[in-house]
Structure formats: C-alpha cells, structure tokens
Amino acid sequence: MMTNSKVKLITAAMGAMALAAGLGTAIAATETEGTDGPKEKAAIAAAKVTLQQAIATAEQAAGGKATANGIENQDDTNIYYDITVDKGGTPQKVLVDMQTGKVVSVAVEANNETDKKD
C-alpha cells in the first residue's frame, strides 16, 4: 500500500528532475494527480517503471517537455502514467505502461478532453 511519504517522495523526485532537465515551466503540483484511490496507490507501489523513466519516454514519444503528470485508471484493469507534454504550445496526453515502460497512446489534449492522434 502506498504511503503519503511515498507520494511526497515521487512528487519531490519529479520536481528535482524538472529542475535538472532545465524545464522553462515550473511544475508546481504538490502531488501526482489521480493517486487518491487504493488501486492507484497499489499500482504505483508495484510499478516496474519509475515516474522519471515514464516522463523521459513520454517526452521522447511526443517530442516536447513534460508539464504535468498523473495516473489514469481505465476501469481498474489498466492503470497508466498520464504525462502531459507540451509540443510547440500544444499539450499532448501520453499514457505510459507502468510495468513495461511502453507508450500506450499519444493524443492531443483539447479542452481537458483528448482526441486520438493518427
């Protein structure tokens, strides 16, 4: 089970990585979005891929810089890292598998909704 200190550690690591990467935009979130439920916390604790690895993968896949992160729970069966990447002013939603590190999807975000990118 995920403790509050582990969530804070993940958040702190994300902040340190953002500074180290020289991101122009500060990530000010105090915690990773979508980690409230027990299934999400269990998925984070069991993840083989770190948040930092998922961010690097998402940035490479979308061709931009990460601006936000969270967890997406799809019907309690598929739980992914949800990374928002800014590509030339257009936010891209990138889902990264927590176990394999593979990109599941890349979609353009529009008004907090995603449109599948072909």
Query: For residue 27, which of 16, 10, 15 has the smallest C-alpha distance?
Result: 15
CATH number of the domain where residue 80 is located = 3.10.450.40
Mean pLDDT of 2-8: 54
- Name the E strands within the chain: 65-74, 78-87, 90-97, 103-110, 113-116
Q: What is the pLDDT of residue 19?
A: 45
Number of structural domains, the chain? 1
Mean pLDDT of 22-30: 36
Q: How confident is the model at residue 75 (pLDDT cuts 50, 70, 90)?
A: confident
Q: Do 12 and 20 contact (CB within 8 A), yes or no?
A: no
* Cα within 13 Å of Cα(16), Cβ side: 8
pTM of the model: 0.66
- Domain boundaries, position 110: 4-116
